Amino acid sequence: MEHYKSSAIMQMLIGARGNLESIRLSEKHQKAQRKSLDKIIELEKQLKKYPQILELYKEVQEASNLEYLLYSEEVYKEAFAFGLAIGQEVFSK
């Protein structure tokens, strides 16, 4: 059982690490996230008076979220590939 705790591969396999849900976000990030969400809610309340602008805003948010997810995926892939390259270098000596 101790092997599961010390093996990064096993931690990833059982979902303990390597996924967004397992990342503990800092209090600073959580505070910024709450502030951002509060501002989004307030903006959407005010934009309800202007349905076309509200719809455009939601489309912009959706496009921006997708762009960020795709960006994050590329950064994650590069970080993982770089980590593997470092591992290869270390173990090849």
Q: What is the pLDDT of residues 53-69, one digit of tens each?
A: 999 999 999 999 999 99
In this predicted model, what pLDDT tens digit does every residue of 9-57 receive, in sequence order?
888 888 888 777 778 889 999 999 999 999 999 999 999 999 999 999 9
For residue 49, the SS3 value is: coil
SS3 92: coil
Q: What is the mean pLDDT of residues 1-11?
A: 72
Structure tokens at 31: 């505070």
- DSSP designation for 9: H
Break the chain into its structural domains and give their ranges: 1-48, 50-93
Note the pTM of the prediction, 2 decimals.
0.65
